[in-house]
Structure 1
Amino acid sequence: MVAPGATRRVYVYAGLISTTLLMPAAAQAHGIGALYNLPVPLWLYGWSAAATLVLSFMMAGLVLGGPREPAQARFLDISAGRFAWALRQLVPALRLLGVLVLLLCIAAGFVGSRDPARNFGLTFFWVTFALLFPYLTLLSGNFFAALNPWRTLADGLERVWKGWTRGRMAYPAGLGHWPALAMYLGFVWFELFGNGHPVSLAVFLTGYSLLNLLGVWLVGASAWFQYCEFFSVLFRLIALLGPIDYQRGDALTPRRLRLRWPCSGLITERPKHLSTLVFALAMLATTAFDGLKATQWWVSVFWSDPTGLLTLWQGASPFQASATLLPWYKLWESLWLLMAPFVYLGAYLLALSLARWFTGTPRPIRELALDFGYSLLPIALAYHITHYTTLVLAHGLKIVSLISDPFGRKWDLFGTAHWLRAPILPDVSWIWHGQVMLILLGHILSVFIAHRVALQLFPTRRDAMLSQVPMLILMIGLTVSGLWILAQPLTELRWL
């Protein structure tokens, strides 16, 4: 017997499914939230994007020249300057503020308003932190390493319980970043399939905080925050694209603040472990999956039952058996989310296998995969910006008003309760063309970075160019698929 609430959800989902299957495939700018007819057909955008990447590939071959020595990191060290000194004075207060905001998010989840739009925790964590902070990291460097509230909690516990952050066992070197990847995929699953209620977020943050403290106790703070705590890994990878290199420092190495050329970190550094590469691919794959799962095409793949297997299994059409199939649909989507990084890994390794065959290089596939691993990060960041900037504009500014009323009790603590409550809604055509430009820019940067790395690995200019032909085809495929996802009509089933 189905509970009344479950019955209501079944009818809602069934209506959405039937509407999806009957709607025409009119072009819509994904993530915009409003119908938008493209000024030219989508295929023309695809061909134009492909031609732009081919032209960029040719320009990279001309501009970057012949083989080069491995790039050396070049920095302007400003660690001893007044700006760095001022930042050092602020760090203790900012670390304390980070912990207070974390605790406020948890408290708002448990005792604050149940209305997601009026709950400080939901807006701050999902919009300000999860979406906006990556962009700040790109500009300001990996200052999360200094401000990480979970590390601050661990350091505070160390003052009370001496030896807590030293760990009880050595971190297994073979694990690499696999724990961080598992936590990251779990986090994305919670984001996409969680119920979006304030209490759920508070429970998640409480559990994640306890997990961090336990992990630090087990393997030590240094290893845990380098390999396991996924926000630390995520922001460290994003910071490679930026012009500021911040090193937190420890007992053996000093704290450093240095300037460098944007994106130079992608050339001078490379993943040291396959797990790091897969984590970088997961940053790209999960964002693409988030866009794909909201499209009519994706929903119809399951519910239209093209193979007939669901109808044969249930003895009725998927629409008629929706009450039984909804949990299976959620499981199906969850499996695809977990598989997405490895699907991208397979395509990436195939491109490198072709590159290895074209050039005849004896360098193992695993080493080539690590060599070019960071060249995909500009694409991952471009996908993130295109898919989530509209959400930041629509909901991000609300945090200014919620600061004065974090629990939804009609307070006005700082006089900002009525500030910036209206969303910013740019013209739809500006959003669409901005998304197209960002996707293209990310792929163009990746083309140049990958070609620069190839010039360090291959003995001749010809081999370097040949090695990048399969990578160019891969990037064209990613560009076209990204534009296709953005242009799909939206129908998303939310698990309430």
Structure 2
Amino acid sequence: MCTKCPSTLLLLFFLVAATESQAHSFGVVYTLPLPFWLYAWGAVAALVTSFLVLIFVDRDRLLTREGRVCDISDTTIIKLVKRWQLLKLLKLLSLGSLLFCIATGFWGVRNPYGNFNMTFFWIVFVLGFSYVTVVFGNLYAVINPWQFMIDILARVRPSLLRGCVRYPSFLAFWPALILYIGFIWFELFAQSGPSALAVLLTGYTALNILGVALIGRHNWFEYCEFFGVFFRLLAVMAPIDYKPSDTHGGGGHLRLRMPFSGVLAEPPQQLSLLVFVLFMLSSTAFDGLHETVVWKKLFWLDFYHGFLQYWTDTNPFVAFAAMSRLYSYWQGLCLLLSPFLYLLVFASFIAAGKFITKSPVPVKVLLLRFSYSLLPIALVYHVAHYYTLIQTQGIKIVSLVSDPFGWGSNWFGTANWLQRVFIPDTSTTWHVQLALIIAGHIVSVYVSHVLALRSFVTSRNATLSQLPLLVLMLVFTVSGLWILSQPIGS
């Protein structure tokens, strides 16, 4: 047998495991009904067609369509909400849910599927509330549990809201981005259970209190509390626009508008917020990619045979422990660098559009101006990758709410409801994902074209500037579908 026999056996084992692994995002082995290249070309054709259609739409019609809004602050429904103090009830429910997640994490069962806090936090809040925000606007700005907790504490110590240090303007949204990256790392790599989640929520609660005490309520929740920034960006796409009052007493302004029209409103002024948007996109793509066979073969086979065997050991079985440590570092580094890689790519295509049109507008200004055009893509990536979790595990919250600690309770008589394992139809899942990815990119093409019409003097230059971005959208579309179509490896 050859000297590389152990490595060959490892390769064979890996390939066998890959053929038996689950299709990505599905849960059972699934073979696409048509070759992938047909789906890819179909998606490309849909995007190119939508771009060509937009070219021939009247410029004035595109520039005025998104400006239609309707103020609903004084409608009967809103008055009833205020009269019945439903927002206060939602605030209490939000804070109570946070404290309950902490309590069940510390004193409930260790089984993540039998503990209330895992399903409620990861599925109902992180996933479900994201989709609620896209429909109903920035409700989180009203019911933020940490902000409500701070307001309660401020009744005892009003100086807490002012802080004691001036917030440096150069930090902008970088603290929120750092916390967001850390949160995604915890989600992907910490392999946490209920108790670890309870510790995380307790620590984040303490961090919010400390942050407000340090730099003040407004600055902390505007620039540093990453859930607030995350939901605020999602709410930009919502048909309901809510602007909370600057004071902690409540109030605000409520309007109805065209869906996604908020993306065309005032662009961000800080590069850090653009990188935050890019991480919303890159983290989801990375989450899908890092589970695939292709990604794992790249490190465990290609990198190992290429150079890592000389740093670890030429015997792959002996090198396994060291390779595992390097793999964890590699994964974390790729996650950390992903938004900056996307920034480099995005800036390159924006610069190409500037070069074609010979525009005098600086690249940084164009970057910020077009940054929100990526939000629809980030949204559909998020939904396509994770929506099945709501179908499979999210519905379990009905039974978990009656037995949140896993002690065999039945508080509301629903502890035995929806116990059947629900596996979504794989063909339906794939085609829903396909439709979502294509639809999101078509919306982004539309948004980019409208922004280009605003940014360039003539329609011709606006169209020319969009050719590089159209290519980028095509790359995002095909790569997103490719990741979803890949089998996952153990």
Report if TM-score (shorter chain) is over 0.5: yes
Residues 397 and 421 in structure 1, CA contact (< 8 A), matched pair in contact too? no
Alignment partner of 1:87 is 2:87 = no
Deviations 1:422-471 (A, max 9, x none): 34433211110110000000000000000000001111111011100000
* Aligned residue number for residue 430 of structure 1: 428
Q: CA deviation at 1:18?
A: 6.6
* Aligned residue number for residue 374 of structure 1: 372
Counterpart secondary structure, 1:83: helix
* Aligned residue number for residue 9 of structure 1: none
Change (3 A) 1:120 1:26: closer
1:285-324 matches, cutoff 5 A? 285-306=282-303, 308-324=306-322
User: 1:18 and 1:414 mapped to 2: Cα distance?
Assistant: 52
User: 2:468 and 2:151 mapped to 1: Cα distance?
Assistant: 47
Counterpart secondary structure, 1:117: coil
User: Residue type matched to 1:79 in 2?
Assistant: S
Deviations 1:170-210 (A, max 9, x none): 22222111111110000000000012211110000000000
1:255-294 matches, cutoff 5 A? 255-294=252-291
Residues 27 and 488 in structure 1, CA contact (< 8 A), matched pair in contact too? no
User: 1:339 and 1:148 mapped to 2: Cα distance?
Assistant: 29
Q: 1:57 aligns with which of 33, 51, 63?
A: 51
* Aligned residue number for residue 233 of structure 1: 229
> Which has the higher mean CA deviation after the structures are superposed, 100-109 or 70-79?
70-79
Residues 18 and 293 in structure 2, CA contact (< 8 A), matched pair in contact too? no
User: Taking structure 2 as the reference length, what is the TM-score of the superposition?
Assistant: 0.94
User: 2:25 and 2:63 mapped to 1: Cα distance?
Assistant: 43
Q: CA deviation at 1:66?
A: 6.5
Q: CA deviation at 1:343?
A: 0.9
* Aligned residue number for residue 27 of structure 2: 33
User: 1:319 and 1:131 mapped to 2: Cα distance?
Assistant: 39
Q: CA deviation at 1:415?
A: 1.0
1:296-445 matches, cutoff 5 A? 296-306=293-303, 308-445=306-443
Alignment partner of 1:42 is 2:36 = yes
Q: 2:182 aligns with which of 179, 186, 198?
A: 186
Counterpart secondary structure, 1:314: coil
User: 2:392 and 2:190 mapped to 1: Cα distance?
Assistant: 21
Q: CA deviation at 1:315?
A: 2.7
* Aligned residue number for residue 459 of structure 2: 461
User: 1:398 and 1:187 mapped to 2: Cα distance?
Assistant: 24
User: 1:19 and 1:386 mapped to 2: Cα distance?
Assistant: 31
Deviations 1:67-119 (A, max 9, x none): 97688854211112221123331111111111111011011111101111100
* Aligned residue number for residue 219 of structure 2: 223
User: 1:217 and 1:18 mapped to 2: Cα distance?
Assistant: 57
User: 2:134 and 2:181 mapped to 1: Cα distance?
Assistant: 22
Residues 291 and 489 in structure 2, CA contact (< 8 A), matched pair in contact too? yes
Residues 11 and 301 in structure 2, CA contact (< 8 A), matched pair in contact too? no
User: 1:289 and 1:383 mapped to 2: Cα distance?
Assistant: 11
Change (3 A) 1:395 1:47: same
User: Taking structure 1 as the reference length, what is the TM-score of the superposition?
Assistant: 0.92
Residues 305 and 318 in structure 1, CA contact (< 8 A), matched pair in contact too? no
Structure 2: unaligned runs, 5 residues or longer: 1-8
Q: 1:105 aligns with which of 101, 122, 136?
A: 101
User: Residue type matched to 2:37 in 1?
Assistant: W
> Which has the higher mean CA deviation after the structures are superposed, 307-316 or 88-97?
307-316
User: 1:344 and 1:73 mapped to 2: Cα distance?
Assistant: 30
Deviations 1:43-79 (A, max 9, x none): 1111111111111111111125369768885421111
Q: CA deviation at 1:27?
A: 10
* Aligned residue number for residue 5 of structure 1: none
User: 2:56 and 2:27 mapped to 1: Cα distance?
Assistant: 42
Counterpart secondary structure, 1:76: strand
User: Residue type matched to 1:406 in 2?
Assistant: P
Counterpart secondary structure, 2:158: coil
> Which has the higher mean CA deviation after the structures are superposed, 28-37 or 120-129?
28-37
Residues 21 and 489 in structure 2, CA contact (< 8 A), matched pair in contact too? no
Q: CA deviation at 1:230?
A: 0.5
User: Residue type matched to 2:272 in 1?
Assistant: S
User: Residue type matched to 1:454 in 2?
Assistant: A
User: Residue type matched to 1:192 in 2?
Assistant: L
Change (3 A) 1:431 1:69: closer
User: Residue type matched to 1:430 in 2?
Assistant: T
> Which has the higher mean CA deviation after the structures are superposed, 232-241 or 167-176?
167-176
Residues 386 and 438 in structure 1, CA contact (< 8 A), matched pair in contact too? yes
Structure 1: unaligned runs, 5 residues or longer: 1-14
* Aligned residue number for residue 481 of structure 1: 479
User: 2:352 and 2:429 mapped to 1: Cα distance?
Assistant: 37
Counterpart secondary structure, 1:408: coil
User: Residue type matched to 2:450 in 1?
Assistant: R
1:64-79 matches, cutoff 5 A? 64-65=58-59, 73-79=67-73
Counterpart secondary structure, 1:257: strand
Deviations 1:1-54 (A, max 9, x none): xxxxxxxxxxxxxx9987434456699642001111111111111111111111
Residues 70 and 255 in structure 2, CA contact (< 8 A), matched pair in contact too? yes
* Aligned residue number for residue 124 of structure 2: 128
Counterpart secondary structure, 1:315: coil
User: 1:28 and 1:113 mapped to 2: Cα distance?
Assistant: 29
* Aligned residue number for residue 20 of structure 1: 14
User: 1:16 and 1:225 mapped to 2: Cα distance?
Assistant: 50
Change (3 A) 1:324 1:27: closer
Aligned length: 478
User: 1:64 and 1:17 mapped to 2: Cα distance?
Assistant: 58
In angstroms, what is the RMSD of aligned CA positions?
A: 2.0
Q: CA deviation at 1:254?
A: 5.2
> Which has the higher mean CA deviation after the structures are superposed, 63-72 or 416-425?
63-72
* Aligned residue number for residue 8 of structure 1: none
Residues 128 and 396 in structure 1, CA contact (< 8 A), matched pair in contact too? yes
